[in-house]
């Protein structure tokens, strides 16, 4: 098990039982906080730019011209892993209205950015558990619900018609069995103390919802939520204490961070960040053995066959 990093420059990350929660410092302006330091220069992180018109219904063919499989410092070959988790990605129109900064690939649209972060998350699952996260489909959903993680995840599932084991025709024309749904949006619940939830997972439906936080932490969030889908639980001081004390992706223990290095870039943080946002490890007393057992729920569900014909085909 190896180590790495997480979370947004303006954020205090505190995780509830399933969600990741981030507190934003009040009064911070973009010029003060939404940047990273490269060669001593400030580089702004999220330059907003409209890249797609709002969409009112799911669209399987969205971004066929955009998915160019970006590279990253940490990438693997998820298709070579013993266990492959077939993922359907779903984006709402607000998420697609922004570009996102990466140090090695420049400014990416939301589709490429999400694919890149899942590749980075998959690297660690492959390295530690021989599990690969494979994107087999991309769609969109129209967000009408308030920024509740539970409501938005439910809304996306219903609109897409998702259920674990559904069949999806990929961009390669091949039909795949979908084993997990990963939903992206830009806004989730605000906590009473002014923070926001960055991720929420539902083990029963094998699905989770995310919002982008910052490049240096954005692969930790799908790692954390995917771990929930394999029965790992959050480590608090009062629950799973040894997980809490360790450098585990599930630990809620806070650590004060001034700067953090990720992919050769020094990121200014100046905040408290949970271990879950800083390290790519799973504690040996709880999370590692749990995932090693429950990862097998995702073994052997691929199928080359098309779905049965429903309605007029």
pLDDT in tens, 284-306: 999 999 999 999 999 876 544 44
* DSSP letter, residue 94: T
Mean pLDDT of 80-97: 90
For the chain, strand residue ranges (E) read 11-15, 20-24, 35-38, 41-44, 83-92, 99-102, 106-109, 131-141, 167-169, 175-177, 180-184, 195-202, 207-210, 254-262, 265-274
More confident residue, 279 or 33: 279
Listed in sequence order, the DSSP H helices in the chain are 30-33, 110-129, 149-160, 220-228, 241-245, 287-294
Largest CA distance in the chain: 61
Can you tell me the distance from the alpha carbon of 199 to that of 20, in angstroms, rounded to the nearest whole number? 5
Query: Average pLDDT of the chain?
Result: 76
Q: Write the pLDDT tens digit of every residue in 102-138.
A: 877 777 888 889 999 999 999 999 999 999 999 988 8
More confident residue, 294 or 99: 294
pLDDT at 128: 95
The highest-confidence range among 8-17, 18-27, 251-260, 289-298, by mean pLDDT, is 289-298
pLDDT(26) > 90: no
Buried-exposed string 196-223: b where 16+ CB fall within 10 A, e elsewhere:
bbbbbbbbebbbbbbbbbbbbbbbbbbb
pTM, to two decimals: 0.77
Q: Write the pLDDT tens digit of every residue in 198-236.
A: 899 999 999 999 999 888 889 999 999 999 999 999 999
Whether the Cβ atoms of residue 298 and residue 87 lie closer than 8 Å to each other: no
Can you tell me the distance from the alpha carbon of 120 to that of 276, in angstroms, rounded to the nearest whole number? 15
**Beta bridge partner(s), residue 168:** 176
Strand bridging mode 11-15 / 20-24: antiparallel
User: Given CA atoms 78, 228, 179, 87 in this order, what sign does their dihedral have?
Assistant: negative
């Amino acid at each position: 098990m190896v180590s790495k990093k997480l979370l947004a420059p303006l954020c205090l990350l505190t995780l509830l039982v399933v969600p990741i929660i981030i507190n934003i410092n009040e009064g911070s302006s973009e010029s003060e906080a939404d940047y990273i330091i490269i060669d001593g220069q400030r580089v702004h992180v999220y330059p907003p730019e409209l890249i797609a018109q709002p969409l009112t219904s799911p669209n399987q063919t969205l971004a066929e011209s955009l998915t160019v499989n970006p590279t990253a410092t940490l990438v693997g070959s998820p298709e070579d892993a013993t266990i492959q988790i077939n993922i359907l990605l779903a984006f709402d129109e607000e998420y697609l209205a922004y570009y996102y900064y990466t140090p090695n690939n420049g400014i990416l649209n939301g589709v490429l950015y999400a694919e890149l972060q899942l590749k980075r998350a998959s690297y660690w699952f492959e390295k530690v558990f021989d599990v690969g996260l494979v994107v087999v489909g991309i769609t969109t959903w129209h967000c009408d619900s308030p920024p509740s993680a539970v409501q938005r995840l439910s809304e996306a599932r219903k609109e897409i018609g998702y259920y674990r084991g559904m069949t999806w025709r990929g961009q390669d024309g091949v039909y795949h069995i979908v084993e997990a749904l990963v939903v992206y949006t830009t806004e989730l619940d605000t906590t009473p103390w002014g923070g926001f939830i960055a991720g929420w997972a539902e083990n029963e439906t094998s699905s989770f919802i995310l919002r982008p936080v910052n490049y240096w932490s954005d692969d930790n969030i799908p790692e954390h939520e995917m771990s929930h889908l394999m029965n790992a639980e959050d480590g608090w001081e009062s629950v799973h204490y040894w997980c809490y004390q360790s450098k585990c992706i599930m630990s809620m223990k806070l650590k004060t961070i001034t700067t953090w290095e990720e992919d050769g870039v020094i990121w200014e943080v100046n905040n408290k960040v949970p271990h879950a946002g800083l390290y790519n490890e799973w504690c040996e007393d709880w999370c590692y053995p749990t995932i090693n057992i429950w990862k097998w729920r995702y073994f052997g569900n691929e199928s080359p066959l098309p779905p049965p014909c429903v309605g007029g085909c």
